Amino acid sequence: MESKDTNHRNEYALITGATSGIGYELARLFAADSINLILVARSAERLQEVCDELKEQFSIECTPISKNLFEKNAAYEIYEAVKDMGVTVSYLVNDAGQGEWGYFLETDLDRDLDIVQLNISSLISLTKYFGREMAARNEGHILQLGSEAGKTPAPLLSVYSATKAFVISFSVALANELKCKGVTVTVLLPGPTDTDFFHKAKQNKTKAYLESNLDTPQRVALDGYRALMKGESKIISGVKTKVHVLMADILGDTVSASYMHKQMEPSEKKKTTHKRPAHAASLKERENIESLTGKSEGDIRHN
């Protein structure tokens, strides 16, 4: 496949969570516009597969950096690795994120803190490291992955929804701070999307997953990519998601939390439209985790 735009030939985008889901599709969009890639994920083998695929299809440079963003020093190590490469990151995409389903008092504390580290602390760190360089150049673009869940309290997914509320607030505030520095910050709010998120979060038996019409990662990624390139501060992906966010604003936190609690409960339907990701890269992610853990839900332990 030929690139669509050669004006970006010497630019680089750094994308976390790049081997599956929305992150993978964002990588394809950047590559299609001849933007070179630095891809971050945990699996060195899978990262290399994705880089080889994108280099062959789009004739761009693609560098894999295998780091675990659940670890405190990972963001700094990524920054140092990019400095050693001697390249300039014009686009930063903080896509990596996870959740954990269950009543808060019953979920594992270390897992909750891992999620805060991944969804908030690593995102802050990467934004700080690369954002400072962008501001010094008066040029740069940052895309943060928020969520529809960040607009309403979500019982049984409480830590995740709280981290995404942070991401939304932080990103919009930062967009305001940096608008005079030549740096744009865009936060993308997807609704339920056909990725491996639900299985990692052990949320794959809930109404929110089994009874929803899931958005495709391709559609969500395209919405986010277009908004990023236009310099928009926030984009809600999909009409259904826009309606959900509007209703949450109108109904208020207490009523919205009650609705979300019902959506997070196990589904009683025997026939459902999906039980595993249909998105190929996300299905491969699930299969890789299953081969390592022997389990059809959950993630790899990090501690």
How buried is 9 (Cβ within 10 angstroms: 0-12 exposed, 13-18 middle, 19+ buried)?
Answer: middle
Angle at CA of residue 277, ends 151 and 275, nearest 5°: 95
Q: In this structure, how many other beta carbons lie within 10 angstroms of the beta carbon of residue 29?
A: 19
Residues with Cβ within 8 Å of residue 34, at least 6 apart in sequence: 3, 4, 5, 6, 7, 8, 9, 58, 59, 60
C-alpha 249/C-alpha 30 separation (Å) is 33
Biggest CA–CA distance in the chain, Å, is 56
User: Are the C-beta atoms of 1 and 13 separated by less than 8 Å?
Assistant: no
Which positions are catalytic? 160
